[in-house]
Structure 1
């Protein structure tokens, strides 16, 4: 069995977290970029690390604590800069015999962001706030496939108004490479993981996707009566080629043998 340290290095080299996040293969992967200069590193918690599946070998599994510290999450007519951190914890590991990879989403935390200023400057009645919520996460071919819905908050929209749902989420395919979106979007590129700390072991990376579509609003107002209004204001549904996700993030990974 490879050592936990070797597993962490190969996992980071193969791909990344998110948006996240960090994956890899036990066999091959590109070399890591050179360590960055000293910088302020966010705090991480591995308290939410999920339990491993029955029969899993702890040395083949990582628990990844992710902090998305900046970037952009824009769709339709909403152009939103990420100014407050989003935090994600997930596990990824390999079957000891087949090396098939599995990911387990444990937690996703974000704060409310203003997406529509109050018409009269008020922060309550006419302002609209949004908060991303994770639906699912998978790791495929080095990309982070993160399914999200966006919850909206406003007294007129009710308590359950979302853009995207559990059954019809916003499906991000986040990469450190270069995207291939339909027009009018043009290709953008992420950045490979760079070591920024060894105690704890932390990498910094940027994941991107601008080829995803965004569904319309759901369950807004009484009996969906405000769905049309949210769609009108937000420019939804929004076809692929008109939306962008850029997640600048830090990832602290620990082998399950070290937890």
Structure 2
């Protein structure tokens, strides 16, 4: 049975973290939209569980193309894309929702310029990494991240957060309720900027999350944690950190994927 565009939009919007009350509020952008859209590679969609019925599953690709990410004393403007691929669906008997992670790709960004312009030995870079916990419960996109901190003197495993103590984001378009000193912010409801393929443009936000201490920094896997914590202002309690992710997102039912 052919799935209507309206039903696809509703399903895709739900998968892209919109609250149920907003499912009917997807606005269409002008046909002559000037948006330069990213490529959406659906060949990267994850395999479904053996017991999953493809009729009730779809693959989602969210590309964060801009925004800001503030972690303690570190604040960066997102200039390189962050791409998340995942599948979500439900059991047609129990209606239990399920999510399957596919991939997470993010480029490193410069945190501290090197001395005298050196881009290698003294410069410090950071790169977000997926750390589990992906789901779309509660009308939000929930995922855990760590941030790899890269510098030859910090070793190859230095990170902000860890698999056991990650940065836990709950990204949505609704108004946040952070502890002070942060104040409430809101995302932007999605608009349709393309119908072939279907592409939504939205902004998702969270400024109520905490950022843990550094982990395994230094050639001895820990001796330099204090240095990263001092520089980055870690740990950073909830109310001092912000994620504003401007996204393009697309989706396809698994019945349309080869």
Question: Which bracket does the TM-score occupy, shorter chain normalised?
Answer: over 0.9
SS of the residue corresponding to residue 79 of structure 1 reads strand
- Higher deviation after alignment, 139-148 or 118-127: 118-127
Is 1:40 the counterpart of 2:47? The answer is no
1:151 aligns with 2:145: no
Q: Which residue of 1 aligns with 2:178?
A: 181
Name the residue aligned to 1:74: 70
Could you tell me how far 1:160 is from its partner in structure 2?
A: 0.4
Flag structure 2 segments of 5+ consecutive residues without an equivalent: none
**Distance of 1:13 and 1:125 partners within structure 2:** 44
Q: Distance in 1 between matches of 2:100 and 2:18?
A: 12
* Match among 243, 246, 249 for residue 244 of structure 2: 246
CA displacement at 1:204 relative to structure 2 = 0.7
1:19 matched to which residue of 2? Answer: none
Q: Is the 8 A contact 1:13 1:31 kept in 2?
A: no
Alignment CA distance shift 1:198-1:118 (3 Å): same
Q: Distance in 2 between matches of 1:230 and 1:28?
A: 41
Aligned to 1:171: 168
- List per-residue Cα deviations over 1:180-221 (Å, max 9, x = no partner): 000110111001111111111111111000000000100000
Q: Gaps spanning 5+ residues in structure 1: where? A: 17-21
Shift of 1:28: 8.9
Secondary structure (helix, strand or coil) at the match of 1:224 reads coil
Please, what is the CA RMSD of the aligned residues? 2.0
The number of residues matched between the two structures is: 253
Q: Distance in 1 between matches of 2:165 and 2:12?
A: 30
TM-score (norm. length: structure 2): 0.92
